[in-house]
Structure formats: structure tokens, C-alpha cells
Chains A and B, each alone.
Chain A
């Protein structure tokens, strides 16, 4: 399409808006399928296994390394102001409020989101979706909904694992290696982290990110062109769009939750 021809620009705008409208209708259909999907819990359980268990390795190890880095950087920054005992509080608040949900969502988009998009795209390319429609099986109910709800359930759990391993990583570096006082490390966390304000809001964020990332992955797979190149470009589009959406939503959610 040429950018200087008004007809082309108008057509591009209208087709983009039609895509957004179609995506919104699909999202609504997936949300409404909550009860029928959980009645066939076996499908959801299988998807939770593929999305959750297989992501556990990367999430836990990334959390550990992020905790290590935080322990180190946090200590060297705090020691300039003489408050190195607040290291536990710094690491925990940053992880629980921001980094846990966001980094988990980005890693999830990269690992599980791409596998979802590729799987659904290949089913479309192999005409399995049209065959299901011909047999009067709703492909959205059978294929998309279990994957969508599996991803939504799994995301807060993965974010919690990330935050927990991050705090342990911060402890290993701060207390064991550098020598920050162990008692004040944990007691500052107890005093400064509020269950509903900090942990609760972090979990809410990870649920919203789970809805976003899983929906984008499933939508891109469903709308992929039924060719190998189509599937490949849909997979990259999942990662790009999901990452941008997560970072943008993070700003909006933080503005609503954490500022006065």
C-alpha cells in the first residue's frame, strides 16, 4: 500500500480496525467459554502441563540469576547511603511489584507463546481446523479455549515462582556472599511488603498479562496464513506484539495501582 494515496491509507485504517474488532470478538468468545472449558478440565490440565511445567526451568533459573544481579547491584547502590540492611526489602519489592509479572510475561511470550502460535498455525496449515468445522466441532471451544485458559491459570503461578527464586537469589548473594545481616534481610521484608498492596497487586498484574499474552499467541496462530512463511511470521509477530502490549499495560496498571 502506498502512503500518499488516500484510498490506500483509508483502506489500511479500516482493515486494521476490522482486525481489532475481530480480535475483540474472539477475546470475548474466549472469555465467555470459561464454564464449558473448565467442565472438560482434562484438556486444560494438559495445556497447563505443556505451558507451565515446560516453562518452569527457564522461569526459575532466570529468577535466580535476576536475584543474583539484584543482590549485587542493590548492595553497591544502598551502601553509598549507608542503608545496606534494606537490601531484602529492595529486592523483594522490585520483584513482587514489577519485575516478577513483567519479566515472566516476556519470557512466557517467548517460550510458551511462540509454541502456541506455531502449533495452532500448523494445525491451520494442515487443514485440521477446517476439518473440525466440517465435523461440527467448534475449533474455538476444542483447540483455542483450553490453551487460553491454561495460559491464564499458569501465568500467576510462574510469576510467583520467579519472584520467590529471585528473593532467594538476592539472599544467596547478599547474605551468604557479601555478608549483609541475615536477620535484617528477612525482617525488613516482613515489615515492608504488604500482602494485599504489593503481592496482591503483583498477582493481579500477572493475571492481566496472562490474559494478554495468551490471547495474542492464540489469535496470531488462528489468523496465521496457512503456509510455512505465514506460520513463521505469525510466530515473530506474537513475540513482538505481546512484549509491547505487556510493557504498555504495565505502565497503565502501575499508574492505577501504585500511585496515589
Chain B
């Protein structure tokens, strides 16, 4: 087969095609997160972040409005400090509250943000005070057993 002088351009075309396929494959598998949205950062303190991971979703009413950027342990207040990146097109009031919720029964955890009623909105660098930690299964079980024991001794005492 003869070498043609268009070979260089065909080679460039093939390389561009290969990069495009690689990009599509990684995007479809959610392994690449090139988002072109501008975001602003908010931080909050939690007692227990449970199974929260970086890049976990921040949802309001079920819709993803941002991502968790980092989780750091603050050894001055002995709480976990979470940095969130919220998309700039969504504005939340200053007294919004954060909760750690689970997708389904044993799914991955995400942060739910509920809007408050203040007049002014959150800006970059704000700290949210109203937070609710993740549910820890052991605490739930011991709470249940304790309340069962309390009921048992209560009705026992009444019967006597």
C-alpha cells in the first residue's frame, strides 16, 4: 500500500476519535466529573458524618444541588467539618438546615438541605449551624431496647 501525504491528517483524526471514545466511556461510567457549573463553598459541623464520602450529593427535595467537597476532623471542637460546594444558580436562606440521609434502606448517604425562612441568602464561606448527624445503627438499637425495658417495668409496676 502506498504512503499518502494525507496520512498525517488521518492519524490526527484517528487520535481525536480515540480520545472522544475514551471521554464518552468514562463519562457514561460516571468515572469522570467534569462539571462546568460554577459553585460556592459552605461549611458545616456534624457530630457524626456516618458513611458520607467526598463527591456525595447534596440534595434539596430530591434534586442534586451540589456536592460534598471534603470531610475534615476539627480537633478544637471534636466535630467533623464538612465543606459543601453548592451550584451558584441555587440560593438558600441563611437559616437553612442540613441533615445526613440515606438513599434507600442500605444505600449510600447524602446531605439533605432544607430551606429556612430568613430574608438573606447564603454566600461563599458561610457556616451552617443547624445540622443533624447521621443515624448510627447501634444507638438506634440501644434506644429501642431501653424504651422497651422502660415500658416493661412501667406496665409491670402498674399491674402490681
Q: Does B15 contact A (CB under 8 A)?
A: yes
Interface class of chain A by DSSP: helix
Contact of A255 among B6, B11, B25 (CB under 8 A): B25
A21-B8, A259-B28 are known; give 10 further A-B pairs, CB within 8 A.
Answer: A17-B12, A17-B15, A18-B7, A18-B8, A19-B7, A21-B6, A252-B21, A252-B22, A259-B30, A259-B31
The answer to whether A18 and B25 have CB atoms under 8 Å apart is: no
The answer to whether A24 and B10 have CB atoms under 8 Å apart is: yes
Tell me the number of A-to-B contacts counted with CB atoms below 8 Å.
63
The answer to whether A21 and B30 have CB atoms under 8 Å apart is: no
> Which A residues are in CB contact (< 8 Å) with B28?
255-256, 259
The answer to whether A256 and B25 have CB atoms under 8 Å apart is: yes
Considering the complex, give the chain A residue whose CB is closest to the CB of B7: A21
> Which A residues are in CB contact (< 8 Å) with B24?
256
The answer to whether A255 and B26 have CB atoms under 8 Å apart is: yes
The answer to whether B9 and A21 have CB atoms under 8 Å apart is: yes
The answer to whether B14 and A20 have CB atoms under 8 Å apart is: yes
Q: Does B106 contact A (CB under 8 A)?
A: no
The 3 A-B residue pairs whose C-beta atoms are closest, nearest first, are A21-B10, A21-B11, A20-B11
The answer to whether B30 and A24 have CB atoms under 8 Å apart is: no
Most buried by B among A25, A140, A260: A25
Q: Does A40 contact B (CB under 8 A)?
A: no
The answer to whether A19 and B1 have CB atoms under 8 Å apart is: no
CA distance A29 to B8 in the complex (A): 17
- Name the distance in Å between B26's Cβ and chain A's nearest Cβ: 6
- Name the distance in Å between A119's Cβ and chain B's nearest Cβ: 18
The answer to whether B25 and A29 have CB atoms under 8 Å apart is: no
Contact of B8 among A17, A26, A253, A256 (CB under 8 A): A17
The answer to whether A19 and B11 have CB atoms under 8 Å apart is: yes
Q: Does A142 contact B (CB under 8 A)?
A: no
Considering the complex, give the chain A residue whose CB is closest to the CB of B22: A252
The answer to whether B29 and A256 have CB atoms under 8 Å apart is: yes
> Which B residues are in CB contact (< 8 Å) with A253?
25
